[in-house]
Amino acid sequence: MDATPMRPEKRDLNEKNIKSAQPGEILRDATVTGLHLKVYMKQKMFYLYYRTRAGVERRPKLGSHGVITLAQARKLAGDMLLEVRSGKDPSKTFRDSRDEKTLNDLFDAWWLERGSHKKSGDEDEKNWGRYFRAPLPKPGKDPLPRPPWASLGDAKLSSIGYKQMVDLHTGIKAPVQANRVIALLSALFNYAIRPLELLEKNPCEGIRKNKETKRRRYMAGAEAAEIARVLREKAKLKDNLPGVAFIYLLILTGARRGEIAKAKWSDLVDRKLVLAEHKGDKSGNDRVVHLPQAAMDVLDRLPRTTGTITGILTPTTLWETVRSEAKCPDLRLHDLRHSFASAALSDGKTLAQIGELLGHADSRTTLRYAHLMDDAASEAAASIGARIMASMASH
């Protein structure tokens, strides 16, 4: 006669029994009804069993023993049972919270539908990676300090409030950059409100932007000569040629950095770069970058490939060295575009012509250079006035 298999002994859920529990065993708590521990091969997991008022059975997972203690499991289970008695379903709330979108999820959704089509899309994507996707430290390595707001990227949307946004805005020490980050976040939260209907209020609402002073930095004549000298020196090293060419193309054409980075040899038509994809592309027209002879000479020194003209995305590292050695450490790459516009004005070109050369889709964008015309007019008036006074004094 076969022996009847014995059922496992029912044991209470307590610290002593947890330690000796074997895989397949279930320990049930005598303190909190429905709380139990299931023992698996590699972990011991707390669960809670209950029925909703509608009679629906729930068995939410509370956490693994070792991650939470028995006391914490009892507290969590007790709180959930109080909600059940009041007619709520905490398991559904817990599950919804777990599945709630994070700030990074929101950015990804916004980027696909809207962000990637913006003029400032590249800058937005760069800022997001810098501030909200900062990597966690690697084990055994001494990493750079992680920005205090990096964890916001992984935060649930419902957990983000006005105070966190204010702290972020004041925490970014560069005033203009702080404004840009808050503007980006505000756009995301508005997108979450409508059309996604994930939020009811924008936590950026009411934040006072920092006062911004328009940057007016141009490459002066003496600086231009020094930059040219340093570039000649750097060009002696073959590895520097792509970066040197990139910088010269920015100086000589007034093109945007992204336009030069994406320009391919196949875009070169006669003495022009004809770009189908560009920042100002709203009407579907190509962006034409006119190349003076000096720019053509730069291109002639580069190898023809099937890829982009320079083969690099940015000459930032080389530029840091160049501007330092040329003794103009505050001159940015983007200032070279402004310098081109300044030189064009000095050469007698109108704002409309400059806007065409720079690829401005909106004429209002070119008006930022109007002050240069005022400066030139003031200098001319001063010179003429001095000449008249000198003439009058001689009679």
Share of the chain above pLDDT 90, in %: 39
Quick one: which of 31, 56, 36, 32 has its CA closest to 46? Answer: 36
346 pLDDT more than 70 = no
- Residue of 151 and 326 predicted with greater confidence: 326
The set of residues, in sequence order, having a beta carbon less than 8 Å from that of 266 and lying 6+ positions away, is none
- Both tokens assigned to 37: 């521990």
- Around Cβ 335, how many Cβ atoms within 10 Å? 19
What is the structure's pLDDT at 377?
47
Cis peptide before 195 (omega within 30 of 0): yes
Q: pLDDT tens for residues 26-57?
A: 999 999 999 999 999 888 999 999 998 888 88
On the 0-12 / 13-18 / 19+ scale of CB atoms within 10 A, 312 is middle
Identify the DSSP state of 264.
B
Instruction: Please state which of the four CATH numbers 3.30.160.390, 3.30.450.20, 3.40.50.1820, 1.25.40.10 is assigned to the domain occupying 11-99.
Output: 3.30.160.390
In tens, the pLDDT along 75-112 reads 999 998 998 998 888 876 666 555 678 899 899 989 88
Q: With residue 121 as reference, give the H or E element that holds it.
A: helix 121-132
Provide the CATH number for the domain formed by 221-378 in this structure.
1.10.443.10
> Could you tell me where the beta strands, DSSP code E, fall in 86-216?
none
pTM: 0.50
| Residue 334: pLDDT band with limits 50, 70, 90 | confident
Q: Return the structure tokens found at 292.
A: 């003076």
Long-range contacts (CB closer than 8 Å, 24 or more residues apart) made by 127-134: 127/177, 127/180, 127/181, 127/184, 128/184, 131/172, 131/181, 132/103, 132/104, 132/107, 133/104
- The pLDDT tens digits for 286-325 are 888 889 899 999 999 999 988 899 999 999 999 999 999 9
Whether the predicted pLDDT of 241 surpasses 60: yes
* Contact partners, residue 170, CB within 8 Å, separation at least 6: 178
Tokens 């109080």: give the residue. 82
| CA-closest candidate to residue 156, choices 90, 208, 203, 92 | 203
Computed over every residue of the chain, the mean pLDDT equals 82
> Residues 155-214: pLDDT tens digits?
888 889 999 999 999 999 888 899 999 999 999 999 999 988 888 899 999 999 998 877
Model confidence at 24: pLDDT above 80: yes
Report which of 28, 25, 22 is spatially closest to residue 48, judged by C-alpha positions: 28
